[in-house]
Chains A and B, each alone.
Chain A
């Protein structure tokens, strides 16, 4: 809040600057941010290869860390569309695997059935025509139990899976589908949804 009284007369001698100048500067700055960043983002390569057999951390909460280990080669992580600890998007050819790390806030934590119902709603919010079929029991290779069912929408068909962590304070929700994916494509990688692990974190 400088009170630079000597500035006024000088500015007066030069006269006021046209209001077009601040108007143009503001419009340019706004346009730059909403146009330039998406352009730069589009120019950068958006995915990185994920080696098979190596656990990928996909979220943690309440003392548990969740990982996903791909049984096959050829999976890629869409880094631009993912958010660490929240949402991960992978693809292998036409197959897309979307993984959400969920942290319930209620106490006691929700049952697997309640998690499934919540997932049903979230899937429907993302795509109005998407529906989840009735769930069946499934378990990870490590023996953690969850639910799975058919995912159907106007554009794709696949599978949905949810696994709560042993204490229920963390859950991994996945959809395995793809607009261009055939049943053979999906069947070839179906076991990926069983490769989730919950690891107890050291304090």
Chain B
């Protein structure tokens, strides 16, 4: 039984999704309607900044990659096996992290293009900028505070500022380049975490090559493996992805207000950025030097990040469910069937209830209905 795409199913049809084109539009909630359009199209005034942001990202990523290549060519040439293993472990970390972090976005995956650009920024531009800025600021601390003090506190005084701002800058650029992909705190969280993931992977490579030098070139692959065990296995849960997710949530808050936040939102965003820097400071501070100390740091960073995540996730899911319920009512769908579309599992279950030949059409309608529901949810985001 195949229906035409515009043919409305009976309200009692299980799993069916009527065409959302017939849905009544909720006129009560839209804010900043002038700059958002359903389906992720660029609104007037967004296209040129978006293109410029994309071009800037491309140029800075290329420059960052070139700088890193220049800086590490000698080490890679001489310690090729060590570098190859490090790259391999980095690719594994990246693939797993990319899958997990895109998967944790509630309702549906983030846009693939924005996700890839976010990771690319973290992998290249942010890391290269971090190497330059950290080296310069570290030298400033050496000169002004002395080598012994800098040895202990240098990282904690440099990295939280330099690295968090460089990653944050990238998240903002991605938000401007892909305005439809970063529309609220949930998007900011996920895009931020992807920028942090890319940063982490390149930083792991840098650290592992430094460890090879630190071992006097005598350790073979051991320093590389040790570095990854420590930085991914032990400290991975509380690393760059987490801090940048917190900072990215701030970007999402600002993007949701069309970059013109009220005082409360501006303060909230600033506090989130400061929180990300504070977490980074905690990780780099010499206060917790033992393995137990590192585990405590990781736990603090991870649990704080999860608190932010579950807050924005709860708010977003509640709004999407509300929008789906109202959309479903307008279409004559059962409320439970409409609300079930708010998560991947529910959509799969509903899809399983329709005949196989109809699934592609129903799936398309689910996507359309979700797009409208998320648009509504975002427009309701204060």
Is B218 interfacial (CB 8 A cutoff)? yes
Q: Please report the number of residue pairs spanning A and B whose Cβ atoms sit closer than 8 angstroms.
A: 217
Please count how many residues in chain B sit with their CB below 8 Å of the partner chain's CB atoms. 78
Is A160 interfacial (CB 8 A cutoff)? no
Interface string of B214-255 (1 = CB under 8 A from A): 111111101100100000000000000000000001000111
Given contacts A34-B133, A44-B140, A105-B222, contact A125 B74 (CB under 8 A): yes
Interface string of A72-87 (1 = CB under 8 A from B): 0000010111111110
**Quick check: A110 and B216 within 8 Å, CB to CB?**
yes
**Quick check: B382 and A102 within 8 Å, CB to CB?**
no
A25 → chain B closest CB, angstroms: 7
B140 → chain A closest CB, angstroms: 5
Q: Which residues of A contact B264 (CB under 8 A)?
A: 2, 4, 7
Is B132 interfacial (CB 8 A cutoff)? yes
Closest to A127 in B: B74
Q: Which residues of B contact A128 (CB under 8 A)?
A: 74, 77
Given contacts A1-B315, A2-B265, contact A27 B179 (CB under 8 A): no
Is A143 interfacial (CB 8 A cutoff)? no
Other-chain residue from B170, B176, B382 in contact with A23 (beta carbon distance below 8 A):
B176
Is B98 interfacial (CB 8 A cutoff)? no
Is B204 interfacial (CB 8 A cutoff)? no
Q: Which residues of A contact B211 (CB under 8 A)?
A: 105
**Quick check: A26 and B143 within 8 Å, CB to CB?**
no
**Quick check: A82 and B147 within 8 Å, CB to CB?**
yes
Closest to A107 in B: B222
**Quick check: B216 and A115 within 8 Å, CB to CB?**
yes
Given contacts A18-B49, A79-B143, contact A30 B216 (CB under 8 A): no
**Quick check: A4 and B382 within 8 Å, CB to CB?**
yes
Q: Which residues of A contact B223 (CB under 8 A)?
A: 105
Given contacts A11-B32, A33-B162, A119-B217, contact A16 B259 (CB under 8 A): yes
In whole angstroms, what is the CA distance A16 to B260 when docked?
6
A115 → chain B closest CB, angstroms: 6
Given contacts A16-B34, A40-B140, A125-B74, contact A21 B265 (CB under 8 A): no
Other-chain residue from A10, A29, A102, A125 in contact with B214 (beta carbon distance below 8 A):
A102
Closest to B319 in A: A3
Q: Which residues of B contact A124 (CB under 8 A)?
A: 74, 78
**Quick check: A102 and B259 within 8 Å, CB to CB?**
no
A99 → chain B closest CB, angstroms: 13
Is B52 interfacial (CB 8 A cutoff)? yes
**Quick check: B179 and A7 within 8 Å, CB to CB?**
no
**Quick check: B166 and A41 within 8 Å, CB to CB?**
no
**Quick check: B176 and A12 within 8 Å, CB to CB?**
no
Is A5 interfacial (CB 8 A cutoff)? yes
Interface string of B157-182 (1 = CB under 8 A from A): 00001100110111011011001000
In whole angstroms, what is the CA distance A4 to B132 when docked?
39
**Quick check: B143 and A45 within 8 Å, CB to CB?**
yes
Closest to A162 in B: B216
Interface string of A16-59 (1 = CB under 8 A from B): 11111111011101100110011011001110000000000000
Q: Which residues of A contact B77 (CB under 8 A)?
A: 125, 128
**Quick check: B262 and A4 within 8 Å, CB to CB?**
yes
Q: Which residues of A contact B226 (CB under 8 A)?
A: 105
**Quick check: A3 and B382 within 8 Å, CB to CB?**
yes
Q: Which residues of A contact B53 (CB under 8 A)?
A: 19, 23
Is A122 interfacial (CB 8 A cutoff)? yes
Q: Which residues of B contact A41 (CB under 8 A)?
A: 136-137, 139-140, 143
Q: Which residues of B contact A1 (CB under 8 A)?
A: 185, 249, 253, 268, 308, 311-312, 315
Q: Which residues of A contact B218 (CB under 8 A)?
A: 102, 104-106, 110, 114-115, 117-118
Given contacts A4-B382, A27-B169, contact A17 B136 (CB under 8 A): no
Q: Which residues of B contact A4 (CB under 8 A)?
A: 262, 264-265, 382
In whole angstroms, what is the CA distance A39 to B251 when docked?
29
**Quick check: A22 and B175 within 8 Å, CB to CB?**
yes
Given contacts A4-B265, A27-B56, A125-B74, contact A37 B215 (CB under 8 A): no
Is B69 interfacial (CB 8 A cutoff)? no
Which 7 A-B residue pairs are closest in the complex by CB-CB distance? A118-B217, A16-B258, A7-B262, A84-B151, A37-B136, A102-B216, A19-B49
A interface list, Cβ under 8 A from B:
1-12, 14-23, 25-27, 29-30, 33-34, 37-38, 40-41, 44-46, 77, 79-86, 100, 102-106, 110, 114-115, 117-122, 124-128, 171, 173
In the complex, 20 of the A-B residue pairs with CB atoms within 8 angstroms, ordered by the A residue number, are A1-B308, A2-B264, A2-B382, A6-B382, A7-B257, A7-B264, A11-B261, A15-B258, A17-B260, A22-B255, A27-B173, A34-B132, A44-B140, A46-B143, A80-B139, A100-B213, A104-B215, A105-B211, A114-B218, A125-B77
